[in-house]
Structure 1
Amino acid sequence: MGTLIELASDFEDEKMSSLNRSALQSQFAYLLMLAYRTQYSILTELDFNFASGKTRPDLAIMPKRRANWLADEIIVQDVPLTTIEILSPEQSLNSLTDRIYKKHFPAGVKSVWLVVPTVQTVSILLPDRQQLNFSSGIVADPITGIQLNLNEIFEG
């Protein structure tokens, strides 16, 4: 088994953070917890080791689970229902969508929210390559039933 430093380096190519990206991640977590905390577990920056590869989505939405404070997990094997990926200023859209289609969907993730901060859009990607694009109004995930107001996501 590798050291924690070696494990962390497996995720280094994921993305670099930024002020706007961090603010959006916090906003998503807040809005999702406010409306869906009894139905889903909303987790940020969690490392997953899927059969299709290692990844660290900005947020993961999982069926509700209780925390076990005595036994923590460094790298999670369970597959989230939905992941949210926020495009970083240093990241290409192609590299991010490539990772989604090569790692998230083959592992069993049902939907991925792809957020592009500079143009304030959210696209919901589905495993069958269907894509729902939102630039105003309510972002609605047909898989989880989660709905968020785009204006509230980009509030600030």
Structure 2
Amino acid sequence: MAIQAIEITETETPLEETMSLNHSRLIYRLSILLSQYDARFDIMPELELELSAGRSKPDLSIFQNLSFNWKEDVLRYTEAPITAIEILSPTQAYDALTSKIWKIYFPSHVRSAWIVMPSIQTVQLFLPDQAVQNFTECMFTDPITDIKIDLRILFK
């Protein structure tokens, strides 16, 4: 009887995009600043979403208060957040983020999206069927959630 040798090789799965220092700091600072809205919203960092228009993982997602089942977890959440927040990292293309907003988030019924741009200390607000609004060194307000963020504190 002939013995057949089978070579077993390990395949590496690509690592998730490396998070920069500023990116990590902004996720933390936004989480702290958004915590004052905890009675109204659930703020979810890095939650995998399986939306009607595609898969995504915003840096932060804002949901109306959710119900949690601590005995059974969910790997990819299928309900659209009210707001998706993306932080532009040094390795990302701006067009990739705007494309995600227009092609995945808004068709899936996300009602507002933010792009936080650390290098120019700016937050852009995206609303369906409206021009993009830029906020720098001021009080940022999302009219969908009525969330207010002082950008001087965010970028201090």
- Do the structures match in fold with TM over 0.5? yes
Amino acid at match of 2:21: L
| In 1, Cα distance between equivalents of 2:41 and 2:19 | 25
Q: Give the secondary structure class of the aligned counterpart of 1:95.
A: helix
Q: 1:84-123 to 2 correspondence within 5 Å?
A: 84-123=85-124
1:142 pairs with 2:148? no
Is the contact between residue 115 and residue 122 of structure 1 (CA under 8 Å) also seen in structure 2? Answer: yes
1:27 pairs with 2:6? no
**Higher helix fraction (1 or 2):** 1
Amino acid at match of 1:94: D
| In 1, Cα distance between equivalents of 2:101 and 2:62 | 15
Is the contact between residue 16 and residue 88 of structure 1 (CA under 8 Å) also seen in structure 2? Answer: no
- Greater Cα radius of gyration, structure 1 or 2: 2
Any stretches of 5+ residues in structure 2 without a counterpart? Answer: 1-12
TM-score if structure 1 supplies the norm length?
Answer: 0.87
Q: Give the secondary structure class of the aligned counterpart of 2:124.
A: strand
Equivalent pairs counted in the alignment come to 144
| In 2, Cα distance between equivalents of 1:81 and 1:127 | 12
Matching residue of 2:6: none
- Deviation digits for residues 102-133 of structure 1, max 9, x if unmatched? 11111000000111000000011011142221
- CA-atom RMSD in angstroms: 1.6
Identical aligned pairs, as a percentage? Answer: 38
Amino acid at match of 1:87: L
Q: 1:1-150 to 2 correspondence within 5 Å?
A: 15-33=17-35, 35-150=36-151
TM-score if structure 2 supplies the norm length?
Answer: 0.87
| In 2, Cα distance between equivalents of 1:137 and 1:103 | 29
1:141, distance to aligned residue in structure 2 (A): 0.4
Q: Give the secondary structure class of the aligned counterpart of 1:118.
A: helix
